Amino acid sequence: MKAWLYFSPKMANKAVITDLVKNFDVNFNILRADIDSQGGKMLMEINGPEAEQGIAYIENAGINVSPIKRVVKKDENMCIDCGACVSLCPVHAIIVDDDWTVEVKDKECIGCKLCSYSCPTKAIKVIE
Amino acid sequence: MKTIEEINQRIKDGDAVVVTATEMTQIVRENGAEKAAEDIDVVTTGTFGAMCSSGAFLNFGHTDPPIKMTKTFLNGVESYSGLAAVDTYIGATQPSRNPDVGIEYGGAHVIEDLINGKDVELVADSYGTDCYPLTEVKTQVNLENLNDAVMINPRNSYQNYAAAVNSTDEPIYTYMGTLLPNMGNVSFSSAGGLSPLLNDPYFQTIGLGTKIFLCGAEGYVIGEGTQHSTEVKRENGVPVDGAGTMMLKGDMKQMDHEFIRGATMPKYGSTLFVGVGVPIPVLNSDIAKRTAIADEDITCRVTDYGVARRSKPTILETNYQELRSGSIEINGVEVETSPLSSYKKAVKIAKELQSWIENGKFLLTSPVNLLAHEGYSPNPLKLGGKLLL
Ligand code: SF4
Ligand code: SF4
């Protein structure tokens, strides 16, 4: 699953994430991070056999975990399937089908908004 | 050898054999050009790309009392008024006069809105004359109540076009879309083997008076486009860079919103995605051979838009098969590619035109004057003072 982790100023220096990896069988991938001594937020993908326990652990440690549902949405009427967005996506979440339709896989999106900023017809939007 | 008249007779009789340029590639590979020229009557092409050099002449009709419009705005976008009293030309790249809107809504969007049947606000003023006393007008217009809405695009459908990368450390925003730093992506813009002028690279059939598919309606080629160039290096018979262009005309009242779209390239400007399909009559085996051109036979230069000069350095040469595969190799690194012009719509246009001809709805025309295939090479504009770049 993909979630935003919100750190309070107190939490910012604690090694919660390090402990998470040490103590639980999880795979994780930090997709975005915006943290300083004042706290901040981090977009993380967490999977693996003990993902659920791991999430419970970090929540207990005081981190606010907010799972992401749909992140990116393409309006099929506005999209002209030009493909301008395809090569901009850092995680290959936008692909061209066999019939040249441009498709966005919202599960893989990390919400960087590069596609929505660059779409010439404003067809693609990131909603969080 | 056949003539356009013979092909038209076959179209009327419902006997014409019409294929898309993609199908033709396969047919010529299998049967050879001689046989294909006997079997096939028409090859259809298509492209749907951003074409900045587009616009439309509109005639509003006269008010009572009349006005000679000298400044004209459509939904806040200025259109050229230096014509007769109620004629105007709205250009695709003109931004909104409202600085908060700017390039987000430009002439291209006005044209799209009109074709989409929407009402558009007309605001115009004038210095007033004895015969045209009214000095201001503010009203709504739409496609239905305009006397004329004629799209005239000075330059469409480039024969080939260099792809773009960016070698600098910062992203840049261009008419080729967003280019990521350090050659992080490649943007290209041609329908390749399906593209109209690449299927008739020596202009043996296309010229002034050729009837075409333009934005879902019948339109016409009305001559060489501006910056038409014939002196570009060729490989496999087709130019390796931007070369021939067409000037096109069509009636907006007949157009279909599916094949036209106003767009904005971020930090660059508004532009119009125009759908163009040109039918190529297969008059002889040489034309058959030319229409068989495939993506892999068309060389495309990849140029560095990080260098803000008129002639940009070429990084490497590739072809449209590689570009369309999703990535190409640059300096040993796989770099993702973006098409920019919609191949899906290009295919749809070629098929739509194919069905028009098969159903006898669309006859071919004999051009009055073929597009020039030699002697055209655009000159740069010399600056009088110091070069600023
Ligand atoms: S850039 Fe916009 S219009 Fe083009 S394929 Fe992507 S979402 Fe569609
Ligand atoms: S927002 Fe970013 S990650 Fe998501 S689809 Fe768009 S480019 Fe890809």
DSSP-assigned states of every residue in B176-234: TEEE-TTT-EEE----GGG-HHHHSTT-SS-EET-EEEETTEEEEEEEEPTT----S-E
Amino acid B253: pLDDT: 98
Q: Residue A71 above 80 pLDDT?
A: no
Compute, in angstroms, the gap from residue B56 CA to the centroid of ligand 1: 25
Amino acid A38: pLDDT: 76
Q: What is the pLDDT of residues B127-145, one digit of tens each?
A: 999 999 999 999 999 999 9
Global ipTM: 0.91
Query: Which strand ranges, in their side-by-side order, compose the sheet holding B120-125?
Result: B77-79, B71-74, B120-125, B136-141
Compute, in angstroms, the gap from residue A86 CA to the centroid of ligand 1: 8
Q: Residue B265 above 60 pLDDT?
A: yes
How far apart CA A72 and CA B159 sit, in angstroms, is 35
Contact B344 A101 (CB under 8 A): yes
* Half-sphere exposure (Cβ direction) of A127: Cα atoms closer than 13 Å: 8
- In this structure, whether the domain defined by A72-126 belongs to CATH 3.30.70.1450 is answered with no
Burial category of A12 from C-beta neighbours within 10 Å (exposed 0-12, middle 13-18, buried 19 and up): middle
Task: Give residue B81's region: left, alpha or beta (phi > 0; psi -120 to 50).
Answer: alpha
User: For ligand 2, is residue A43 a contact (CB within 6 Å)?
Assistant: no
User: For ligand 2, is residue A31 a contact (CB within 6 Å)?
Assistant: no
Q: Which of B48, B273, B337 is facing A87, going by the closest CB pair? A: B337
Q: Residue B79 above 90 pLDDT?
A: yes
Q: What is the pLDDT of residues B151-198, one digit of tens each?
A: 999 999 999 999 999 999 999 999 999 999 999 999 999 999 999 999
Q: Residue A80 above 80 pLDDT?
A: yes
Looking at CA atoms only, how far is residue A9 from chain B in angstroms?
32
Structure-model confidence comparison of residues B382 and B112, the more confident one? B112
Q: Residue A9 above 80 pLDDT?
A: no
Rounded to an integer, the average pLDDT of A105-116 is: 90
How far apart CA B288 and CA B301 sit, in angstroms, is 26
Percent of chain B with pLDDT over 90: 96
Q: Residue A11 above 80 pLDDT?
A: no
Q: What is the pLDDT of residues B13-72, one digit of tens each?
A: 999 999 999 999 999 999 999 999 999 999 999 999 999 999 999 999 999 999 999 999
* In chain B, domain spans: 4-51+152-358, 61-146
For the record, the structure tokens of A125 come out as 């939007």
Q: Which of B178, B335, B339 is facing A82, going by the closest CB pair? A: B339
Q: Where residue B359 falls among pLDDT bands split at 50, 70, 90?
A: very high
Q: Residue B74 above 60 pLDDT?
A: yes
- Contacts A85 to B, Cβ<8 Å: 338
- Contacts A101 to B, Cβ<8 Å: 344
Rounded to an integer, the average pLDDT of B356-361 is: 97
Atom 2 in ligand 2: residue holding the nearest Cα: A112
Residue B374 — φ and ψ, nearest 5°? -155, 160
Contact B266 A87 (CB under 8 A): no
How far apart CA B199 and CA B163 sit, in angstroms, is 19
Ligand of minimum distance to the alpha carbon of B177: 1
Atom 5 in ligand 2: residue holding the nearest Cα: A109
Amino acid B373: pLDDT: 96
Residue at B38: amino acid letter: E
| Torsion of the alpha carbons at B6, B8, B12 and B16, rounded to the nearest 10 | 80
Q: Is B131 a catalytic residue?
A: yes
Q: Do domains A2-68 and A72-126 have the same CATH topology?
A: yes
CATH no., domain A2-68: 3.30.70.260
How far apart CA B33 and CA A34 sit, in angstroms, is 62
Amino acid B277: pLDDT: 98
Q: Does B103 touch chain A (CB under 8 A)?
A: no
Amino acid B389: pLDDT: 55
Among A6, A111, A108, residue whose Cα is nearest residue A63? A6
Amino acid B383: pLDDT: 84
Ligand 1 pocket: which of A76, A82, A100 to mutate (most atoms <8 Å of CB)? Answer: A82
Amino acid A70: pLDDT: 61
Rounded to an integer, the average pLDDT of A44-60 is: 84
Atom 8 in ligand 2: residue holding the nearest Cα: A89
Burial category of A6 from C-beta neighbours within 10 Å (exposed 0-12, middle 13-18, buried 19 and up): middle
How far apart CA B345 and CA A80 sit, in angstroms, is 7
Looking at CA atoms only, how far is residue A79 from chain B in angstroms?
10
Which positions ≥6 away from B180 have C-beta within 8 Å? A87, A88, B166, B171
Q: Does B178 touch chain A (CB under 8 A)?
A: yes
Structure-model confidence comparison of residues B342 and B308, the more confident one? B342
Rounded to an integer, the average pLDDT of A62-67 is: 83
Q: Does A87 touch chain B (CB under 8 A)?
A: yes
Q: Where residue B100 falls among pLDDT bands split at 50, 70, 90?
A: very high
Amino acid B350: pLDDT: 98
Q: Where residue B309 falls among pLDDT bands split at 50, 70, 90?
A: confident
Q: Does A66 touch chain B (CB under 8 A)?
A: no
Amino acid B388: pLDDT: 58
How far apart CA B336 and CA B110 sit, in angstroms, is 33
| Mean pLDDT, chain B, integer | 96
* In chain A, domain spans: 2-68, 72-126
Asked if B191 and B161 count as a contact pair (C-beta separation under 8 A), the reply is no
Q: Where residue B248 falls among pLDDT bands split at 50, 70, 90?
A: very high
Q: Residue A49 above 90 pLDDT?
A: no
- Which candidate in B344, B347, B348 is best for mutational testing of the A interface (most A CBs within 10 A)? B344
Which positions ≥6 away from B261 have C-beta within 8 Å? A80, A121, B112, B272, B273
Q: What angle do CA B10, B11, B15 make, to 5 degrees?
A: 55
Q: Residue A88 above 70 pLDDT?
A: yes
Amino acid B363: pLDDT: 98
Rounded to an integer, the average pLDDT of B291-313 is: 94
- Contacts A80 to B, Cβ<8 Å: 48, 261, 263, 273, 342, 345
**Residues B52, B131, B215, B300: which is the catalytic one?**
B131
Q: Residue B260 above 60 pLDDT?
A: yes
Enumerate the H helices of A65-120 as residue ranges.
Answer: 114-118
Contact A122 B264 (CB under 8 A): yes
- Which candidate in A77, A78, A79, A82 is best for mutational testing of the B interface (most B CBs within 10 A)? A82
Amino acid B135: pLDDT: 97
Contact B265 A120 (CB under 8 A): yes
Q: Does B273 touch chain A (CB under 8 A)?
A: yes
